[in-house]
Structure 1
Amino acid sequence: MPVDSEAVQFLGFYAALCVLCCALALIDFRRGIIPNGLNLAIAVLGVAQAIASGNPTDGVEALGEAAAVAVIFWLLRRLYFVLRQAEGLGLGDVKFLAAAATWVGVTGIPTLLLTATLTALAAAGGLQLAGRQIKRQTSMPFGPFLALGLLLTPAFQRWLGLN
C-alpha cells in the first residue's frame, strides 16, 4: 500500500500545531492572555508548512494574507472600542488570527471564526445551564475557541474541501 507523503508531511505539521494550540488554549484559559511567542510559533509553522507543501512564494503569500488579516481585525477591534468604549477583542486574539491565516488563508478565516463562535456560544450556554450567571459584562477567554477553530479549519479544508 503506497504512503501519501504529502499527507504524512501535513500530519507532522498538524501535530505540532495541535501542541501549540493546546498550550495557547490552556494559557489563555488560566491567565487571560495569548503569548506572543505562541502566536509567532504558529505563524512560523504555518509559513513553513506552506513552503513545504508548495514553494517559497507560497510562504510569501501566506505572510501577505496574515498581514491583511491583522490589519482588518485590528481595525475592527478599534472600531468596536470607539463605538462601545469597551474592549471586545483582545490584541492577542488579533495576533492569533493573523498567525492562523498562515494556515488557513483569508478564505479560511470565516470558517475558523464560525467554529470558534459557535463553540464559545455552546460553552456559554452550558455554563448558564450549569447555574453560572452569564451577563453582558461576563468575560470569557476567546483564545481556546479560536484555537479549536484553527485546528478544525485546516482539516475541513483538506478533507472536506471547504475553503
Structure 2
Amino acid sequence: MHIDSEAAYLIGFYGTLCVLCAAVALIDLRHGIIPDWLNLAIAVLGLVNVVVTEDASAAFTAMAMAGLVGLLFWLFQRLYFRLRHVEGLGLGDVKFLAAATIWVGLAGVPTLLLVAALAALGVAGALHLAGHEMQRQTSIPFGPFLALGLLLTPALQRWLGLS
C-alpha cells in the first residue's frame, strides 16, 4: 500500500503540531501560562520538519530567525511593561512566537500575528456582546490565538501560496 507523502506529512508533522497547539491553548486558558516544554517541543518538531522538507543548513537559518523574533518580541514585551506598567505579552507568548517562527519563517510571522489578533478581537467582541464587562485591564490569554495563528499560517503558506 502506497502512502502519499503529503498525507504522511499532514499526519506526522502537522498532526503533532495540532496536538501541541491544542495543549498550549488549554494550558494557557486554564493556568495563564505556556509551559517551556511545550514551546521547546514545538521548536524541535519544527526543526525536524525543516530538516526533512529542506536540509540541515535551513534548520540553522530557521533557528537564527527564531532567535531574532524571540529577541525582538522580548524587547517589545519589556518596552511595553516599562511604558504601561502592565504585562501585555507574557514571556511564554514570546517563546511561543520564537518557536512558531521555525514553522512559518520570518515572512510568516505577520500573518500569524494577524490571525491571532483578529481571533482575539473577535472573542473579546463576542464576550462583550455576551454581557461580560470588557475593560482596558481585562486579561485574555493570548496563547490560544497564537496557537490558532500557528496552525493556520503554514496552511495559508502551503495551499494558498502566501509567505
TM-score with structure 2 setting the length? 0.96
Give the aligned residue type for 1:15: G
Structure 2 distance, partners of 1:132, 1:15, is 34
Query: Amino acid of the residue matched to residue 50 of structure 2?
Result: A
SS at match of 2:126: helix
**Partner of residue 82, structure 2:** 82
**Superposition pairs of residues 9-158 of structure 1, within 5 angstroms:** 9-11=8-10, 12-158=12-158
Structure 1 Cα separation of the partners of residues 8 and 44 of structure 2 = 16
SS in 2 for 1:94: helix
- Any unmatched runs of 5+ in structure 1? none
Q: CA deviation at 1:72?
A: 0.5
What secondary structure, in the 3-state scheme, does the structure 1 residue paired with 2:73 have?
helix
Aligned-partner Cα distance in 2 for 1:93–1:9: 29
**3-state SS of 1:33 partner:** coil
**What percent of counterpart residues are identical?**
62
Structure 2: distance between partners of 1:37 and 1:50: 20
Q: TM-score, normalised by structure 1?
A: 0.96
- Measure, in 2, the Cα distance between the counterparts of 1:89 and 1:117: 12
RMSD (CA atoms): 1.1
Structure 2: runs of 5 or more not aligned: none
SS at match of 1:137: coil
Deviation at 1:9, TM superposition (A): 4.0
In the TM superposition, residue 8 of structure 1 has moved relative to its aligned partner by 2.8
> Number of aligned pairs?
161
Displacement of 1:81 in angstroms is 1.0
Amino acid at match of 2:23: A
